[in-house]
Amino acid sequence: MAPRTIGEFQEKPQPLSVEAGHRRGWNRKTKEQRKLMRKAWIGALAMALAAGFAVTSRAQELTQADKDKAFQYLESTKKGVQDATRGLSEAQWNFKATPERWSVAQVVEHIAAAEDMLRGITIEKVMVAPAVPDRDVKHIDEMVVTMVTDRSHKADAPEPLRPVNRFGSPADALKHFVDSRAQTEEFLKKTPDLRAHAVDSPLGQKLDAYEWVLFIAAHSERHTKQINEVKADPNFPKQ
């Protein structure tokens, strides 16, 4: 028997069966499908995150309904001051229940001066402040109105807002308030991005520009209540 060569001892490749060929092709397709599926999942996740971010961003935007609501609040609280002071005599304007309490004239002067100062803070400070993300603006909006109008919690006016007869007469103070309120309403109507900036406030929360507008309206409502308290005093002049 002739000796066998080294080549004969080496394993010769066997032809693939039809079934094995199908199996190898299927494995190759499965890997490609997995890659495609992975890319599809990554794309879907990215889209979901983007959509979630968009929803969050939209939640911080100010709607026209929000602006309309604030405008009506500014209008109704302006009317509240006007109605509470309509037809007052000089004695009624200047009546003080006690020497340390304010008269109606002094309250109106304070309201008018505060309107100027609060709007100035909103324009000069709030609108240039950085954004504050993840704020529950609906809750904070409601909190501003509730807390500012609550007369059960007293607060001393800062020195620049204390009455000093800066407008000359109660009638001039009232006129200044009405004119200043018109400027506040114009600011609300024409200024974009009122939710885009926020600063610290006396309420212990950062407020955006829209919430400062609510603060302005609520402040006049708070002091309209004070005017009505003065008028309810048993010694308030009858005429």
Question: CATH code at 203?
Answer: 1.20.120.450
**pLDDT for the residue 103:** 98
Same domain, yes or no, for 80 and 168? Answer: yes
What was the pLDDT predicted at 36?
Answer: 56
Residue 120 domain-assigned (yes or no): yes
For 122-163, the pLDDT digits (tens) are: 999 999 999 998 899 999 999 999 999 999 988 899 999 999
Q: Measured between alpha carbons, how far is residue 55 from residues 49, 59, 61, 211 in Å?
A: 10, 6, 10, 21
Q: How far apart are CA 218 and CA 226, in angstroms?
A: 13
Residue 12, domain member (yes or no): no
* pLDDT for position 52: 38
List the beta bridge partners of residue 208: 198
> Which run of H or E residues covers position 197?
none
Question: What's the confidence (pLDDT) of residue 204?
Answer: 94
Number of compact structural domains in the chain:
2
d(CA 97, CA 102): 8
pLDDT of residue 6: 31
| List of the chain residues with pLDDT < 70 | 1-60
Q: Are 133 and 53 part of one and the same domain?
A: no
Residue range of the domain that includes 41: 18-60
| Cross-strand bridge partners of residue 199 | 207
The CB-based long-range contact list for 201-205 (8 Å cut-off, 24+ gap) reads: 202/155, 203/143, 203/144, 203/147, 203/148, 205/140, 205/143
H/E stretch holding 199 reads: strand 198-199
Which of 10, 44, 60 is at the close of a domain? 60
Looking at residue 59, its pLDDT comes to 38
Show Cβ contacts of residue 31 under 8 Å, excluding neighbours closer than 6 positions.
none
Q: What pLDDT is recorded for position 99?
A: 95
pLDDT score of 35 = 57
Measured between alpha carbons, how far is 64 from 69 in angstroms, rounded to an integer?
9
CA distance 189 to 28: 63
Q: What is the pLDDT of residue 154?
A: 87
- Supply the pLDDT for residue 155: 87
Tokens representing residue 65 in the block = 């309904």
At 62, the amino acid letter reads: L
Amino acid 109 reads E
